[in-house]
Amino acid sequence: MSKVTIIIPVYNSAEYIGKCIESILNQTYHDYDILIVNDGSKDNSQQIINEYKEKYPNMFFPIIEENQGIGMARNNALEKATGDYIMFIDNDDFIDKDYISSHIKELEEKDYDMVLSGYKRVTDTETQFSVTLEDYPWSRYVSIAPWGRLYKASFLKENDIKFLKTPIGEDIYFNLQANTLTNNIKIIDYAGYNW
């Protein structure tokens, strides 16, 4: 069992999913597994996923399902996650090499329920802007996406924190629960998620 389970919902992302996965494989931290959920893609996303599964059979755990939307894809992966900690990455995003290590170091230091960080808004050629968070309570609401965070799995499971089934706002609901059900949160001055 790996320490961190990374959840990636995939829908028609053949153009981007390789870059996303490669950014995970290039991490300085290596105790993780990847639950990659193909949510009914109609392109060759699954072929790309299969190639990585074949190359890294002990690291990649694909889930194939009919299209249910990103919230349900994440919920289905959460039910199967075995790591002590959970990270979400979107299929068209990528992370800096020290992304996982920067979060896990903080979370394990004081047993936080969640560690939050900032992000960069990027294109194929440039970084448009970067958002870093200051260590004050309102920072937990700057971004409502599930990425840019490392969650303690037991915190999510014990509080039954799930995504909505709706196609819009499913992540707002998830993080409003996470943000209000604990104050045991660490905010770090770091922006290694590329959105």
pLDDT band for 75, please (50, 70, 90 cuts).
very high
Per-residue pLDDT at 22: 98
Local confidence band at 153 (pLDDT 50, 70, 90 cut-offs): very high
> Per-residue pLDDT for 23 more than 90?
yes
Contacts of 25 (CB under 8 A, 6+ apart): 56
Summarize the confidence of residues 128-132 as an average pLDDT. 94
The answer on pLDDT for 138 being more than 90 is no
Residue 167 binned pLDDT confidence (cut-offs 50, 70, 90): confident
Does pLDDT of 155 surpass 90? Answer: yes
Helix (H) or strand (E) holding 149: strand 149-152
pLDDT of residue 101: 98
- Which pLDDT does position 1 carry in this prediction? 81
d(CA 124, CA 61): 28
Q: Is 135's pLDDT higher than 90? A: no
Q: Which residue, among 9, 10, 56, 65, has the nearest Cα to 33 in the 3D structure?
A: 56
pLDDT at 166 over 90: no
Residue 95 pLDDT > 90:
yes
